[in-house]
Structure 1
Amino acid sequence: MNRTFKTVASSDISISELMLPNYTNFSGKIHGGYILSLMDQIAFACASKFSGNYCVTASVDTVNFLKPIEVGELVKMKASVNYVGKSSMIIGIRVEAENIQTGIIKHCNSSYFTMVAKDSAGKSALVPGLILSNNNDVRRFYNCIKQISLKKEKDLHEEEFDYTSKESLENLKNYNIKLEFL
């Protein structure tokens, strides 16, 4: 299987960026799409650093925007490899914003990006194994195993909705919709 192993700490990476007015949305807060772009960049850097290969984003797990980010705040992102498969890695990312005048730091969001290592021919490349060095590493790894298991279970049990069935359409009455077929 994997011949080399690396510690979680060897994958640690962080970035900081001052939030400027040109990053705002129509409500004057920092645009979520801009934050997602930064998260994708740090996930790429973390995965590439750990694997030694070019990496691509395979999926992004839920990103809940917990608190808005304001113009003038310093955004800090921290990332590390939390789980490895054969060619894939789950990168945990934490986003915090610091008011540089008051020093108050707020947790804005966390997410998990699944990244896949690619070789020079564009084929999936093996990644090093993961050395778990402390309880926090074990907790994060185990949480990834649970998340993968939940995804697989959901995929197995997902029902195919028969949108042509009158009975299926009747079941939609409990939702805030109105059916108007032309």
Structure 2
Amino acid sequence: MTDRITKTCSQSRVIKTSRVFPLDTNNHGTLFGGKLMSMIDDVASISASRHARCEIVTASTDSVDFLFPIQKDHSVCLESYVTWVGKSSMEVFVKVISENLMTGERQLAATSFLTFVALSKEGKALTVPYVKPVSEEEIMMNESAPMRADNRKKRREHSKTLGEKINVNVPWG
């Protein structure tokens, strides 16, 4: 038997809304992808910290799917929560909703999955609580998580193989 506690997805939920200002946009007048990716990592890291209640580190940005551009003067709302855990790793789902502040029209603009690892003060991996999904969405994300975890593992192995073959001693210039 194990002493690991269980937390619900909602215990790690983070919701953050921001307005899209002109300085946040690209030459198309839409939110910079890199700016959104930074916002995604920010809220996802808070979810992982809430779940683990210890130091955490981003291990992987597994996916960011940009579905619709987010316009200047719209708001962007990011919602994140832990969907699944391994021993020390946590998968965090982030959904991004764009809102036209003049009409109230909302649409799903992006989705993302990230993986975080819980660490001790000495930098060693720590065991994290189990996660219990409750809502229909949480259950769907949790049930499909093992497939994503397997894909992450394969992608990481492929990256390691590439890393062994890539020349990092290229002269600058």
User: Aligning the two structures, in what range does the TM-score lie when normalised by the shorter sequence?
Assistant: 0.7 to 0.9
Q: 1:84 to 1:21 in 2, by over 3 A?
A: same
CA, structure 1 residues 14+106, in 2 after alignment: closer, same or farther (shift >3 Å)?
same
CA shift for structure 1 position 150: 3.5
Judged with a 3 Å threshold, the aligned counterparts in structure 2 of structure 1 residues 30 and 156 are, in CA distance, closer, same or farther, namely closer
Aligned equivalents of 2:4 and 2:135: distance in 1? 22
TM-score, normalised on structure 1? 0.80
**Cα distance in 2, alignment partners of residues 36 and 155 from structure 1:** 20
Is 1:35 matched with 2:59?
no
Amino acid in the other structure paired with 1:73 = H
Query: Structure 1 stretch 141-150 or stretch 112-121: which is displaced more?
Result: 141-150
2:80 maps to amino acid = A
Q: Would you say 1:76 and 2:48 are equivalent positions?
A: no
Deviation per CA, 1:98-155: give whole Å up to 9, x if none: 0111000011110100011111112211111112334433221111111122344567
Verify: 1:17 aligned to 2:55, yes or no: no
Contact 1:76 1:95 in 2 (8 A): yes
Q: Is 1:85 matched with 2:82?
A: no
Instruction: Tell me how far apart the structure 1 counterparts of residues 155 and 40 of structure 2 sit (CA, whole Å).
Output: 26
Count of residue pairs brought into register by the alignment: 160
Identity rate, percent: 30
SS in 2 for 1:138: helix
Q: Which ranges of 4 or more aligned residues in structure 1 deviate by more than 6 Å?
A: 154-158
Relative distance call for 1:5 and 1:13 in structure 2 (3 A) is same
SS of residue matched to 2:65 = coil
2:116 aligned residue? 115
Matches of 2:136 and 2:18, distance apart in 1: 30
Pick closer, same or farther for the CA change 1:22–1:138 going to 2, 3 Å. same
- Say if 1:155 and 1:56 are closer, same or farther in 2 by CA, change over 3 A: closer
Cα offset for 1:58? Answer: 0.6
Change (3 A) 1:2 1:8: farther
Task: Please state whether the residue corresponding to 2:64 is helix, strand or coil.
Answer: coil
Give me the TM-score of the superposition, normalised by structure 2.
Answer: 0.84
Pick the structure with more strand per residue.
Answer: 2
Higher Rg: 1
Provide the C-alpha distance between the structure 2 equivalents of 1:2 and 1:30, rounded to a whole number of angstroms. Answer: 45
1: distance between equivalents of 2:158 and 2:35? 35
Q: State the Cα distance separating 1:3 from its structure 2 match.
A: 2.1
Gaps of 5+ in 2: 163-173
8 Å contact from structure 2 (residues 4, 128) kept in 1: no
Query: What is the match of residue 133 of structure 1?
Result: 134
